[in-house]
Amino acid sequence: MTVAAHRPARLAPWGLALGGFVLIGVAFLVGWQLALVLAVWLALWAVNVGVARTTAGTWAAPVLFGLTLLILWELTVRLFNVPGVILPAPTQIAVALAENTNMLRADFVQTVLKGALGGWLIGSTAGIATALLVARSDFLRRGLLPVGNFVAALPIVGTAPILVMWFGFGWESKAAVVVVMVFFPVLVNTVAGLADTTSMQRDLMRTYGASAGQDLRYLRAPSALPFVFNGLKIATTLALIGAIVAEFFGSPTFGLGFRISTEVGRLNLPVVWAAIVVAAVTGSLWYGAIAMLEKRLTFWHPSQRGRG
């Protein structure tokens, strides 16, 4: 391999290990806690380098990376005696999660199922329906796309106080905030998607004598799907943010946003983090569910074909 000979020399594995030991040694001068944290980190990193090379690496490496973060978090909090008011350890959060299951379940139902999911369904449906209407007119499309893009970039969370004033403190106002936040990204993406056909494809539909409905059913809707899913995925995170932030402006005495803001006031950080864990896990599962649906429905799209 003559080419390899000309490449810049790479550090041998033992060189990297030596560098690691030197680093740990230097850290030891600062304090044994720092050295221990560094040593654990480098050891887990080294294991992960090995894991990433195996065939299981695609799923094992990110899992190990997440575990590494958790272990380092726990170690740092315990070794440096970080006060629980600033950052509770993962185990403390887990305990808080287990102790307050019922309370958090009520919060979950209020914020996620009623506020976020309800608003997301209404907003996305309205966005897609409006896009279907708009896409029939080129004039409307040219006018609405820039306006929609502009509105989608605005700090719409700011409408939360207005909508809470209009719809009251219940979940309806949270759903309304979510509807407003979700509508434009879905609308813009769907309109862009419905326009994403080549003239060749449209001409083919015309030679088949396809009606407007058939044109939509067999050409425009399928080609719009990847865009629609893109919008829906953006909307999932926006929906959770909207529902939680809207609760800061007034809510009944339960809900994830209410829980976070009141428990922060009482400096009861483990419960706050437990509420955040609920929100984060929900967000990830929701996003994952949409991504899976996307994979089922748009398996033919280049962005889906490359992977496993």
Query: DSSP per residue over the chain, as a string?
Result: -HHHHHSPPPPPHHHHHHHHHHHHHHHHHH-HHHHHHHHHHHHHHHHHHHHHHSTTHHHHHHHHHHHHHHHHHHHHHHHTT--TTT---HHHHHHHHHHTHHHHHHHHIIIIIIIIIHHHHHHHHHHHHHHHHHTT-HHHHHHHHHHHHHHHTS-GGGGHHHHHHHH-SSHHHHHHHHHHHHHHHHHHHHHHHHT---HHHHHHHHHTT--HHHHIIIIIHHHHHHHHHHHHHHHHHHHHHHHHHHGGG---S-SHHHHHHHHHHTT-HHHHHHHHHHHHHHHHHHHHHHHHHHHHH-TTSHHHHS--
Query: Nearest approach, Cβ of 199 to another protein (angstroms)?
Result: 19
In the block, tokens 């999932």 appear at 236
Q: Is the CB of 63 or the CB of 204 nearer to another protein? A: 63
If one asks whether residue 70 binds another protein (CB under 8 A), the answer comes out as: no
Query: Nearest approach, Cβ of 191 to another protein (angstroms)?
Result: 12
Nearest to 226 by CA among 161, 291, 168, 274: 291
Out of 20, 57, 90, 222, the residue judged to bind another protein by CB under 8 A: 57
Q: Is the CB of 48 or the CB of 298 nearer to another protein? A: 48
Query: Nearest approach, Cβ of 89 to another protein (angstroms)?
Result: 15
If one asks whether residue 153 binds another protein (CB under 8 A), the answer comes out as: yes
Tell me, what amino acid is at 245? Answer: V
How many Å separate Cα 160 from the centre of its chain? Answer: 21
Query: Nearest approach, Cβ of 62 to another protein (angstroms)?
Result: 4
If one asks whether residue 90 binds another protein (CB under 8 A), the answer comes out as: no
Q: Which of residues 118-147 bind another protein (CB under 8 A)?
A: 139-144, 146-147
Out of 49, 70, 133, 289, the residue judged to bind another protein by CB under 8 A: 49
Q: Which of residues 5-44 bind another protein (CB under 8 A)?
A: 6-8
If one asks whether residue 293 binds another protein (CB under 8 A), the answer comes out as: no
Query: Nearest approach, Cβ of 269 to another protein (angstroms)?
Result: 7
Instruction: Choose the stretch contacting another protein; rule: CB under 8 A; options: 184-192, 215-223, 224-232, 233-241.
Output: 233-241
Q: Which of residues 156-175 bind another protein (CB under 8 A)?
A: 157-159, 161-162, 164-166
Query: Nearest approach, Cβ of 246 to another protein (angstroms)?
Result: 10
Q: How far is the C-alpha of 172 from the C-alpha of 177, rounded, in Å? A: 9
Nearest to 127 by CA among 151, 157, 161: 151
Query: Nearest approach, Cβ of 138 to another protein (angstroms)?
Result: 9
Query: Nearest approach, Cβ of 277 to another protein (angstroms)?
Result: 9
If one asks whether residue 261 binds another protein (CB under 8 A), the answer comes out as: yes
Write out the residues near another protein by the rule CB under 8 A. 6-8, 45, 48-49, 52, 57-58, 61-62, 64-66, 69, 85-87, 139-144, 146-147, 150, 153-155, 157-159, 161-162, 164-166, 236-237, 240-241, 244-245, 248-249, 256-257, 260-261, 264-265, 267, 269, 272, 275-276, 279-280, 283-284, 286-287
